[in-house]
Amino acid sequence: MTLVTYHLRKRQPGFNSVEELFATMASGLPSQVTARWHELPMAGASPTSLWRNCREAARQTADVHHVTGQVNYVACAMKGPTVLTVLDTGSSFTKSLPNRLGILLLWYWLPSLRSRRIVAISEFTASELRRLLPFARDKIRVVHCPANPRLSFAPRPFCVDQPRVLHIGTKPNKNLERTVQALKGLGCRLTVIGKLNVQQRTTLRESGIPFENHWDLLYDDMVREYERCDLVCFASTYEGFGMPIIEANAVGRPVIAGNVASMPEVAGKAACLVDPFSVESIRAGLVRVMREPDYREHLVHQGLENVKRFAPGSIALQYVRIYEEVLGRRIV
């Protein structure tokens, strides 16, 4: 029996993507692997939080320690073989120089030296890691995120008169403002997941688009939002993976996605890819999906095929092979 301890960030309302990802993956682990969950005691990145989290992580036992993302720095404190999963690298390239240096040191350089393997969740993220960590290139592996089995095919007639568009996320990279511009005059209803700031709410009200806004949702609530929408618009400008693409695929909803970063890799032929920096391109994608039923059906069919690539058992086995690499022995 091999014990793997999964080190998770302190849980916060509305932030559950990492937890869902690894709970889904662990559901596919073989019986020879025992998963133990360790939630860190402190949120945030203050010196006190970093010190307490590292201290608590160092007290845990395991055959393999697996740092699951967002709290990369705790890998520095591990005693024993360690695997680090990196979800994206966006903050290391976009913040001010002092912040970038701190992030590079504590979230990438030092953890990469301590970890025996570094897992990127897409080939795109792996390519960015190779830029950041040229000295650790040989440690980098790619394992995609698994599709959550709580999402299953739920067909419904497409509402031609007033389709419901689901938009997930309100951070700058989620591209809500351009999406709203693209939706003007198309006769849609819009559901936005994520807390809106004052400017975003004003923009939505001035657009004339009927909308509703939800945040801090439980995962089961998110499943219902996928099921009640007609299409998913995910014209993001940056993603380390792009989970809403395969979530929409699994439920059987056509999805529009950005043609940048990891999204073409994840979507394959199962999304209408658009230029997320062009309102005209996003609008053209929306119009095509709304007005061409054969194309919608094609996207749904391709989506159901695409999601098979991300089966939890397959993803879990890829992680097991990495655990075998760091241990130097077979597990299964």
CA 269 to CA 161: how far, in whole Å? Answer: 27
pLDDT value at residue 12: 82
Average pLDDT over residues 183-205: 97
In this predicted structure, the answer to whether residue 94 has a pLDDT above a threshold of 80 is no
How far from chain centre, in Å, is Cα 89?
A: 12
In this predicted structure, the answer to whether residue 95 has a pLDDT above a threshold of 70 is no
**pLDDT class for 99, splitting at 50, 70, 90?**
confident
Q: Do 21 and 131 reside in the same domain of the chain?
A: yes
Q: Do 290 and 319 reside in the same domain of the chain?
A: no
pLDDT value at residue 16: 75
Average pLDDT over residues 206-218: 96
Structural domain includes residue 151: no
Per-residue exposure over 312-331, b if at least 16 CB sit within 10 Å of its own CB, e if not: beebbebbbebbeebeeeeb
pLDDT value at residue 106: 92
Q: Do 295 and 317 reside in the same domain of the chain?
A: no
CA 322 to CA 317: how far, in whole Å? Answer: 9
Q: Do 9 and 117 reside in the same domain of the chain?
A: yes
Alpha carbons within 13 angstroms on the beta-carbon side of residue 80 total 16
In this predicted structure, the answer to whether residue 91 has a pLDDT above a threshold of 60 is no
- The dihedral through the CA atoms of 68, 310, 93, 10 has a sign that is negative
- Where is average pLDDT lowest: 30-39, 57-66, 87-96? 87-96
Q: Do 294 and 321 reside in the same domain of the chain?
A: no
State percent of the chain over pLDDT 70.
97
CATH of the domain at 292: 3.40.50.2000
Task: Provide the Cα torsion 191, 197, 201, 206; round to 10°.
Answer: -130
| Token couple for 139 | 């440690």
Q: Do 12 and 55 reside in the same domain of the chain?
A: yes
Structural domain includes residue 112: yes
pLDDT value at residue 103: 87
pLDDT value at residue 101: 85
Structural domain includes residue 154: no
Average pLDDT over residues 243-256: 98
Q: Do 275 and 233 reside in the same domain of the chain?
A: yes
**pLDDT class for 92, splitting at 50, 70, 90?**
low
DSSP-assigned letter for residue 163: P
Q: Do 179 and 46 reside in the same domain of the chain?
A: no
CA 35 to CA 26: how far, in whole Å? Answer: 7
pLDDT in tens, 140-164: 999 999 999 999 999 999 999 999 9
Strand partners, 12: 15
Structural domain includes residue 152: no
Q: How many domains does the chain have?
A: 2
Structural domain includes residue 316: yes
Q: Do 289 and 238 reside in the same domain of the chain?
A: yes
Cβ atoms < 10 Å from Cβ of 134: 8
**Domain span at residue 253?**
164-309
Q: Output the average pLDDT for the chain.
A: 95
> Nearest CA to 213 among 231, 234, 235, 198?
198
**pLDDT class for 97, splitting at 50, 70, 90?**
low
Q: Do 119 and 91 reside in the same domain of the chain?
A: yes
In this predicted structure, the answer to whether residue 271 has a pLDDT above a threshold of 70 is yes
Structural domain includes residue 155: no
Q: Do 98 and 176 reside in the same domain of the chain?
A: no
Structural domain includes residue 95: yes
pLDDT value at residue 189: 98
pTM of the model: 0.94
Q: Do 205 and 137 reside in the same domain of the chain?
A: no
pLDDT value at residue 184: 97
pLDDT value at residue 130: 96
Structural domain includes residue 30: yes
